[in-house]
Structure 1
Amino acid sequence: MAQADRFAGTINEQWLARHVEPALEPDLPIVDPHHHLWARDGNTYLVPELLADIGTGHNIRATVYEECRSMYRAEGPEEERSLGETEFVTGIAAMGASGTFGPARVCARMVGFVDLRLGARAGDLLKRHVAASGGRFAGVRLSTAWDASDRIHKVAPKPGVLRDLDFRAGYAALGPLGLVFDAWVYHPQLPEVAELAAAFPDIPIVLNHVGTPILGGPYATRRDEAFADWQSGMRELARQRNVTVKLGALPIRLPGGDAPKRETPPDSEEVAAAWRPWIETSIALFGADRCMFESNFPVQKRWCSYGVVWNAFKRLAASASAAEKTALFAGTASRVYGVP
């Protein structure tokens, strides 16, 4: 599988610093259910960088780490090397739990990686991850985003992974362990997620990145059609009660993804306006109690700051009730991932 969320490019801290906003509703508790930590390709995003971002005024109470092939073991059987990531995150979580670095419980839970295509053999590996994490291992992500167009980056090596019999044999092992499955697909693949959810109704699925609507490549001139197809897929998926959705990681209407060429980064009003159709449609279909806002940092940091992302979410949720805000910003993530 490809590295998480196809990170590319260097984060330009000086450019991001050209626009700083005070936090809206600074007391609102937040559980960030999707961020990464890594040191790769000249880009470092580890505890100091994460703490600097979550310390910008929002009330971040806890975070959930999302697998990204970080700190895999350099030796040993290939299928066991992802245990290194779980061990790494467990150490970070222990640092957060100590309170030494502030009130936020970073990496309170984690979504790791086990290749579920191993079939029945995946079960024992899942148990080893749970044990290595001290119980913080909440689920698995197997990134299966794939599109037929040669102009779209393929995360999965082939289409139809979620329908593969070996994958499903490994997937079945999640249930007895009480683990979640994080699904990263492109929007034309949403029916595959619905099929999986229907086949295993007792296993929770968290759809990453609002179903990742493709807005580039051959879809760039067919955005209305892409939105309609995405909306149809999300409507069918919402009928599966074991599915929740992460809201975030969408384009911010920046041509070619060349954000640093702008004189200043986008502000939270611009981000909210760009994301509104997708976010509001998702909440309307799934309900606030099945949706959670996500930062997707540091991937999202190529375009805007952590403070701007959460201000944009707060603008999008401005008309929500107090109970709905609790669900969107902390409650759903806490329930689904078992965050204390």
Structure 2
Amino acid sequence: MARRPETALEPDLPIIDAHHHLRNRPGDVYLRADFLEDAGQGHDIRASVAVECMAHFFPDGEPLLRPVGETHFLREQGAGTQVAAAIVGYADLTAGAAIRPVLEAHVAAGQGRFRGIRQIAAHHPDPAARGSTGTPPPMLLLDPAFRAGFSQLAPLGLSFEAWIYHTQLAELRDLADAFPDTRIVLNHVGGALGIGPYATRGRHVRAAWGAALRELSHCPNLSIKLGGMGMRLFGFGFHEQQDPPGSEQLAEAWRPYVETCVEAFGAERCMFESNFPVDKGSCGYVPLWNAFKRISRGWNPAERANAFHDTAARFYRL
């Protein structure tokens, strides 16, 4: 990253980083101090949303309750700051109604910061197309057992984070229609695949993905996160370059995805995210937000305020 330093553009623009991770695993450490170092380089990061990454579970006890350990960890990481001002944890919703006490334990552990659940559903039958480390079963969002657990979210005021590939967006439409009172946010612009069998089919992927997003936008309970495009699965290959991309190169690559999302959902249901440290494999924190600012320069002030700050503030009650 030091080979291509950048100064933060528009340093007074308020930002909520709507999606990042914190963890301390062997060879994979990214804690509050690391996030603050990245976020403290010139952009006006007012608060952040820390999302589960299947880490720091309780080592023993009731298996369904062990993921509550991650909420304890994230709350402790954010203590006294606006880092992890909102926490999204993991729970196995396929447990059905039995998941209710687990959700209540998450809420208690978050001490006012816990907002929802992410259970990764990203599945593809071709291993070469899989860009996520999770290995969920196919059609998880359609599973009756999963939906029995999903039904427990809204009564507790909790939301759901959907991480799926673009080939699964119809499944999310079915889920959102079945539970119109549950707020759902689609992660990482809907996971438009650009690897494996999709590596040479970018135009076809964008057409299918865009059409599915427009269908999803008819669900008023759905929002979408703009980011995650530094991941390998999008097929940009930035992680393989000798030098990291600058914000102009990032903006050029990411613009079609961001603009399609905003056209479909409206900025009032879109929120920018860093997805750090995952996206740090492709670019630095300052260039990432500079790229989003370049992409949005032609938007009106209300649209920019929503995408950078206000949508996340409303969705996560910050």
Range class of TM-score, shorter chain: over 0.9
Distance 1:128 1:27 in 2: 38
**Could you tell me which amino acid in structure 1 is paired with residue 146 of structure 2?**
F
* C-alpha displacement of 1:48: 1.3
| Residues 189-240 of structure 1 deviation map (CA, whole Å, 9 limit, x = unaligned) | 0001111101010101000000001111001121111111101110110010
Runs of 4 or more above 6 Å deviation: 252-256
Alignment of 1:155-194 (within 5 A): 155-194=134-173
Structure 1 equivalent of residue 247 of structure 2: 268
Structure 2 equivalent of residue 5 of structure 1: none
**Could you tell me which amino acid in structure 2 is paired with residue 332 of structure 1?**
T
In structure 1, stretches of 5+ residues that fail to align are 1-15, 97-104
Comparing 146-155 with 107-116, greater Cα deviation is found at 146-155
Distance 1:36 1:116 in 2: 21
The alignment's TM-score, normalised by the length of structure 2, stands at 0.96
Alignment RMSD (CA, Å): 1.6
* C-alpha displacement of 1:34: 0.3
In structure 2, stretches of 5+ residues that fail to align are none
Distance 1:91 1:141 in 2: 20
SS in 1 for 2:286: helix
Say whether the 8 Å CA contact 2:11–2:44 is kept in structure 1.
yes
Structure 1 equivalent of residue 222 of structure 2: 243
Structure 2 equivalent of residue 222 of structure 1: 201
Q: 2:86 aligns with which of 109, 113, 121?
A: 109
SS in 1 for 2:276: coil
Q: 2:306 aligns with which of 324, 327, 331?
A: 327
* C-alpha displacement of 1:261: 4.3
| Residues 76-97 of structure 1 deviation map (CA, whole Å, 9 limit, x = unaligned) | 122111111011111122231x
* C-alpha displacement of 1:257: 3.8
* C-alpha displacement of 1:138: 0.3
Structure 2 equivalent of residue 306 of structure 1: 285
Structure 2 equivalent of residue 56 of structure 1: 41
SS in 2 for 1:51: helix
**Could you tell me which amino acid in structure 2 is paired with residue 75 of structure 1?**
D
**Could you tell me which amino acid in structure 2 is paired with residue 35 of structure 1?**
H
Change (3 A) 1:255 1:67: closer
Say whether the 8 Å CA contact 1:182–1:205 is kept in structure 2.
yes
**Could you tell me which amino acid in structure 2 is paired with residue 269 of structure 1?**
E
Number of equivalenced pairs? 315
Say whether the 8 Å CA contact 2:85–2:113 is kept in structure 1.
yes
Say whether the 8 Å CA contact 1:231–1:281 is kept in structure 2.
yes
* C-alpha displacement of 1:156: 3.6
| Residues 15-59 of structure 1 deviation map (CA, whole Å, 9 limit, x = unaligned) | x11111111110010000100011224121101111100000000
**Could you tell me which amino acid in structure 2 is paired with residue 126 of structure 1?**
L
Structure 1 equivalent of residue 23 of structure 2: 38
* C-alpha displacement of 1:73: 1.1
Q: 1:74 aligns with which of 56, 59, 66?
A: 59
SS in 1 for 2:229: coil
Does residue 1:65 correspond to 2:36, yes or no?
no
The alignment's TM-score, normalised by the length of structure 1, stands at 0.90
* C-alpha displacement of 1:270: 0.4
Change (3 A) 1:251 1:59: closer
* C-alpha displacement of 1:256: 7.9
Report % sequence identity.
Answer: 47
Distance 1:257 1:41 in 2: 26
Structure 2 equivalent of residue 259 of structure 1: 239
Say whether the 8 Å CA contact 1:146–1:185 is kept in structure 2.
yes
Change (3 A) 1:55 1:156: same
